């Protein structure tokens, strides 16, 4: 399966609470137009992490619609972002500068040319 780059990790945030362990990756993405018509609100996908040293490891990404609390006048569309979490990797596994590769089909759905 052909893989395409989804993102280069700029920042990570580790969440570890009872019943929840995940590595939240930054950056997030704007919601593509007609996202809600695709029927996606949450999705799990196999990804490949390419670390800055060139090492590759597999991981499971959870791709979500995430609501941000933004104060002040804002376009309601800007309050929703697409976020990516890794559910089976830690900050040590995915240093800043790592590239996240995903299937071309999913990458195109997440980052179409009409994303706003």
Tokens 């609501």 belong to 67
pLDDT in tens, 102-111: 999 888 888 8
CA 94 from chain center: how many Å?
Answer: 13
Domain ranges in the chain are: 3-110
Q: Tell me, which fold does domain 3-110 have in CATH?
A: Elongation Factor Tu (Ef-tu); domain 3 (2.40.30)
Give mean pLDDT, residues 20-24. Answer: 90
pLDDT in tens, 34-45: 666 666 667 899
Question: What's this model's pTM, rounded to 2 decimal places?
Answer: 0.83
């Amino acid at each position: 399966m052909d893989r395409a780059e989804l993102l280069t990790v700029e920042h990570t945030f580790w969440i570890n609470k009872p019943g929840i362990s995940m590595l939240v990756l930054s950056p997030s993405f704007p919601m593509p137009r007609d996202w809600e018509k695709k029927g996606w609100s949450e999705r799990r996908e196999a990804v490949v992490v390419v670390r800055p040293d060139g090492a590759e490891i597999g991981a499971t990404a959870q791709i979500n619609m995430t609501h941000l609390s933004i104060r002040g006048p804002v376009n309601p569309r800007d309050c929703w972002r697409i976020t990516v979490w890794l559910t089976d990797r830690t900050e040590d596994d995915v240093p800043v500068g790592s590239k996240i590769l995903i299937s071309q089909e999913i990458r195109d759905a997440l980052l179409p040319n009409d994303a706003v």
